[in-house]
Amino acid sequence: MDITHSEHKHHESFISKYLFSRDHKMIAKQFMITGFTMGFIGIIMSVLFRLQLGWPGEKFLINDLLLGSWANGGVIAPDKYLALVTMHGTIMVFFMLTAGLSGTFSNLLIPLQIGARDMASGFINMLSYWIFFVSCIVMLVSLGVEGGAASSGWTIYPPLSALPEAIPGSGLGMTLWLVSMALFITSSLIGSLNYIVTILNLRTKGMTFTRLPLTIWSFLVTAILGVLSFPVLLSAVLLLVFDRSFGTSFYLSDIYIGGQALERFGGSPILFEHLFWFLGHPEVYIVLLPSLGITSEIVSTMSRKPIFGYKFMIGSILAIGGLSFIVWGHHMFVTGMNPFLGAVFTITTLLIAIPSAIKVFNYLTTLWRGNIIFSPAMLFSIGLISTFITGGLTGLILGDATLDINVHDTYFVVGHFHIVMGLSAVFGTFAGVYHWFPKMFGKMMNNTWGQIHFWITIVTAYGVFFPMHFLGLAGVPRRYYTNSSFPMFDDFVNLNEIISIFAIIAFIGQFIFIFNFLYSIFKGRKASQNPWSSNTLEWTTPVEHIHGNWPGEIPEVHRWPYDYNKPGYEEFIPQNVPLKKGEVESV
Amino acid sequence: MENNLSIYNYEFSENKKAKEPLLWIGLVSIIMFFAGLTSAVIVSSTSSTWKIFTLPNTFWYSSIAIIISSITFQLGYSFVKKNNLLLPKLLFISTLILGFTFVYFQYEGLSYLYQQGIYATGNKSTTSSSYLYVLTVLHIFHLFFGIISLGVVTTKSLMNKYNSSNFLGIKLSLTYWHFLGILWLYLFMFLTIMMSK
Ligand code: HEM
Ligand SMILES: [Cu+2]
């Protein structure tokens, strides 16, 4: 106690500077560290259950070490396998790629790129982080409770989630999942409010909407999607809590447990699916859009060319955001949906291909004949473009009701969404970290290690998820504990082993990143003010962070952010440089 | 990281300009929350076990109370803007009383239903009755924050903290209050239709 006390005296500002900071740059780092830590835990889970899928029933010492009573004798117990899959999905989608990703880059870049001293409300921003932190703790605690963590999948469909007596994970584990998610939603909502208001109200002089960097556009639409969809999830969760704890029957009807009929009538589990996926689909764009924004920025800067079709990029972000609210039914084609309704959802879903294709086309056209600098950030951005294409193509198949019915709930789906959402978003995150590391820490990350990290990651990532499509086409179902009990899947034993081996290498490869990251914070080369010769405003701030971002006046903006190699002018022209005499603005 | 650089000394003052849009976007998220719930009602009402019943009359009284409260609040606000500072005190207090009147009638209405054997939970409840309780109680939950902010406005007004150049606090509270009134009227209408289907 004494030590902490005197510590406190010496660093009077430690608490206000590092813990309860209201500075957006510090809050960004907090989100990053917390989100990535959660992501790391989520990835470990996936490697552990991949061991089971690759070598079913085999004993692994690592299971004993990490899972303890969940894996007696080194083999994961069947019900705990489900808990692991559920927690893996929940953590990756929400904690790592929603809060971790948006929390980091929206916080870091919104004020810096629009020319604001800080977020509209530093207090709400701080609150948003700490509520997120508590929700992480609650989710992690749920791993240790009796019966284990929630096990009904990241989509927590009732009745498994609605009846505490349904399966072991439906008890306290599920309750804590709900508590944690309610906190998470609150944090995410108030965070989004803050992002939107900041972008709408605090742009510096001259920063019109057609001069906004595409990062900011994507963060804006992401936040709007959050404000519109998370409340609906909250309402779904609330009704679920009533069903669980107060004896209502919103989602329950004709239920038998152990041959006993329950006195629950009138509800419908399909109702939950509607409410869940009304959030769920926008959620995949909440995960994806920030990465697309980051990529737009990096692709342009690192090709030393203006982004191709800037206004079309904005249009497609808006179109994707809008369409994402009317496609949720494509997750429910097999719920006995009216075929006509199925056709409607098929059409709306396929429509999303148009703005997505526009984005891909524009990325490729920007790269075309650019002076491409293959920095790690650029490599990961190109990686994202690749996964966005390969994952998007299978999306067309799943979006078509007649095709989807054949592969629903198989590994085809797992392959699809990991590539298009998981990998794309993770690649965007890595790209963002490599690119803005100098802005966050004033140091450079090691380039060579970054390159090695990229190549290991992209090869192993495809190695894991590409073969899953074949498993799925052959009918291997998802969320199954083992495939070895079904003779018809015996041909795929080797394929499952190969996938798991790739997963293990992928996991080990990430330590290169972790090492590079930590090493560079302490020992990295000092960054210059504008290491990538970029045009956006964040590079006009001093390398050392200060409150309020700019020591003097906030720079005024005179042009769009993509004046690279403008014919007849300098190689790059930052946004705060006034137009020369006779110069015509590029947009 | 010591900043001899910081000529501009940034203070974390909450940005006044941002308060109104923050409220508005917050309202959007509340709208989506109730939109989610009421569309759930619509989906559930297609079930063959959907039971109908009439809503208590006291819901009409509470509706009248909340409409009048919106008017008194609005009047108080206009007077403050004209720097007439006495009347608003009375008007804000009346608004507060009307707010409590609303809650009282809601409570009466729900107790009446309860006495009729229309329950929120348990095996004698139906989904329709559960929805009715959930929606009205969630509305009151949101109203609770409205009453707190109204209390703050009333107190500050009694302490003469507002005048024709300082009324942002009232405006925010008023916007939220109007929103709650409209939300209730929507819910009342919606429930009337759904419960008689
Ligand atoms: C090394 C990286 C990863 C591996 C090896 C991996 C592997 C898997 C596997 C095998 C499943 C179980 C499929 C099933 O049985 O249904 C799964 C589920 C899932 N994963 Fe991953 N995953 C990885 C990374 C990610 C990432 C980055 C995301 C982020 C979007 C993600 C999101 C999910 C989701 C949402 C589920 C579904 C959980 C559920 O069925 O409830 N995963 N993952
Ligand atoms: Cu979807």
Alpha-carbon distance of A127 to A132, in angstroms, equals 8
**Considering only CB atoms, which chain B residues are within 8 Å of A198?**
18
Q: Which of A508, A367, A480, A477 is nearest to A78 (CA)?
A: A480
Residue B191: C-alpha distances to residues A69, A436, B38, B62, B89 (Å): 50, 52, 9, 15, 35
Q: Which of B98, B92, B87, B66 is nearest to B178 (CA)?
A: B66
Give the pLDDT confidence score for residue A14 in this predicted structure: 72
Angle at which helix A339-351 crosses helix A376-399, to 10 degrees, equals 160
Say which ligand is closest to the CA of A420.
1
The answer to whether A391 touches A420, Cβ cutoff 8 Å, is yes
Residue A479 neighbours by CB under 8 Å, 6+ apart = A82, A85, A153, A409
DSSP state at residue A167 = S
Q: Which of A355, A246, A370, A272 is nearest to A309 (CA)?
A: A355
Portion 227-246 of A in contact with B at CB < 8 A: 227-236, 238-239, 242, 246
Structure tokens at A167: 């399966």
Give the pLDDT confidence score for residue A304 in this predicted structure: 96
- Could you give the maximum distance between any two Cα atoms of chain A, in Å? 84
Instruction: Tell me the pLDDT band of A449, cut-offs 50, 70 and 90.
Output: very high
**3-class SS at B55?**
coil
For ligand 1, residues with CB inside 6 Å are A 43, 46, 50, 85-86, 88-89, 92-93, 97, 153-154, 414, 418, 421-422, 426, 464, 478-479, 503, 506-507
pLDDT tens by residue, B32-89: 999 999 999 999 998 888 888 889 999 999 999 999 999 999 999 999 999 998 999 9
Closest atom of ligand 1 relative to the A96 alpha carbon: 29
CB pairs A-B closer than 8 Å: 155
From A282-291, A515-524, B7-16, the region with the lowest mean pLDDT: B7-16
Q: Which of B141, B179, B5, B82 is nearest to A442 (CA)?
A: B5
What is the residue range of B131's domain? 2-194
The answer to whether A539 touches A561, Cβ cutoff 8 Å, is no
Say which ligand is closest to the CA of A86.
1
Q: What is the mean pLDDT of residues A170-181?
A: 95
Q: Is B126 on the interface with A (CB under 8 A)?
A: yes
pLDDT at A12 over 60: no
Q: What is the mean pLDDT of residues B166-191?
A: 96
Instruction: Tell me the pLDDT band of A5, cut-offs 50, 70 and 90.
Output: very low
pLDDT at B10 over 60: no
CB-based contact B122 A247, cutoff 8 Å? yes
Query: Residue A477: how many CA atoms within 13 Å on its side-chain side?
Result: 9
Return the H-helix or E-strand segment holding A107: helix A101-114
Ligand 2 center to A395 CA (angstroms): 9
Assign residue B145 the CATH number of its domain: 1.20.120.80
Minimum-distance CB partner of A266 among B40, B126, B138 = B126
CA distance B88 to chain A (A): 30
Alpha-carbon distance of A277 to A349, in angstroms, equals 13
Portion 474-513 of A in contact with B at CB < 8 A: none
**Percent of chain A with pLDDT strictly greater than 70:** 98
pLDDT at A366 over 50: yes
Instruction: Report the residue of chain B nearest A547, measured CA to CA.
Output: B10
Residue A121: C-alpha distances to residues A251, B12, B189 (Å): 39, 8, 37
From A271-275, A357-361, A533-537, A578-582, the region with the lowest mean pLDDT: A578-582
Say which ligand is closest to the CA of A273.
2
CA distance A22 to chain B (A): 7
CA distance A549 to chain B (A): 9
Residue A293 neighbours by CB under 8 Å, 6+ apart = A213, A214, A215, A216, A217, A218, A219, A317
pLDDT tens by residue, A209-261: 999 999 999 999 999 999 999 999 999 999 999 999 998 999 998 888 888 88
pLDDT tens by residue, A541-571: 999 998 889 998 999 999 999 999 999 999 9
Name the residue with higher pLDDT: A337 or B11.
Answer: A337
The answer to whether A87 touches A149, Cβ cutoff 8 Å, is yes
Q: Which of A41, A211, A220, A226 is nearest to A136 (CA)?
A: A41
Alpha-carbon distance of B92 to A572, in angstroms, equals 59
Q: What is the mean pLDDT of residues A361-368?
A: 96
Alpha-carbon distance of A242 to A248, in angstroms, equals 6
Residue B126 neighbours by CB under 8 Å, 6+ apart = A265, A266, B49, B50, B51
Say which ligand is closest to the CA of A462.
1
Q: What is the mean pLDDT of residues A5-13?
A: 42
pLDDT at B130 over 90: yes
Residue A399 neighbours by CB under 8 Å, 6+ apart = A327, A330, A346, A349, A350, A352
Alpha-carbon distance of A140 to A347, in angstroms, equals 40
pLDDT at A6 over 70: no
Give the pLDDT confidence score for residue A1 in this predicted structure: 33
pLDDT tens by residue, A131-156: 999 999 999 999 999 888 999 999 99
- State chain A's mean pLDDT as an integer: 93
What are the two backbone dihedrals, phi and then psi, of residue A260, each rounded to the nearest 5 degrees?
-90, 130
CB-based contact A246 B43, cutoff 8 Å? no
Residues of chain A by 3-state class (helix, strand, coil), percent to 5: 70, 0, 30
Give the pLDDT confidence score for residue B14 in this predicted structure: 53
Task: Tell me which of B5, B9, B12, B123 to substitute to probe the interface with A (most A C-beta atoms closer than 10 Å).
Answer: B12
In this structure, whether the domain defined by A23-249 belongs to CATH 1.10.150.110 is answered with no
Q: Is B74 on the interface with A (CB under 8 A)?
A: no
Closest atom of ligand 1 relative to the A86 alpha carbon: 41
**3-class SS at A443?**
strand
CB-based contact A250 B44, cutoff 8 Å? yes
Q: What is the mean pLDDT of residues A82-97?
A: 97
pLDDT at A4 over 90: no
DSSP string, A453-514: HHHHHHHHHHHHHHHHHHHHHTTPBTT-S-STT-GGGGGGHHHHHHHHHHHHHHHHHHHHHH
Q: Is B149 on the interface with A (CB under 8 A)?
A: no
Closest atom of ligand 1 relative to the A47 alpha carbon: 5
Our mutation pick for probing the ligand 1 site, out of A47, A49, A88, A458, counting the most ligand atoms within 8 A of Cβ, is A88
pLDDT at A16 over 80: no
Based on the structure, what is the number of domains in chain B? 1
Alpha-carbon distance of A225 to A298, in angstroms, equals 24
From A26-35, A115-124, A382-391, A417-426, the region with the lowest mean pLDDT: A115-124
Instruction: Report the residue of chain B nearest A126, measured CA to CA.
Output: B12
Structure tokens at A211: 């001069």
Ligand 2 center to A136 CA (angstroms): 25
Instruction: Tell me the pLDDT band of A575, cut-offs 50, 70 and 90.
Output: very high
Instruction: Tell me the pLDDT band of B5, cut-offs 50, 70 and 90.
Output: very low
pLDDT at A490 over 90: no
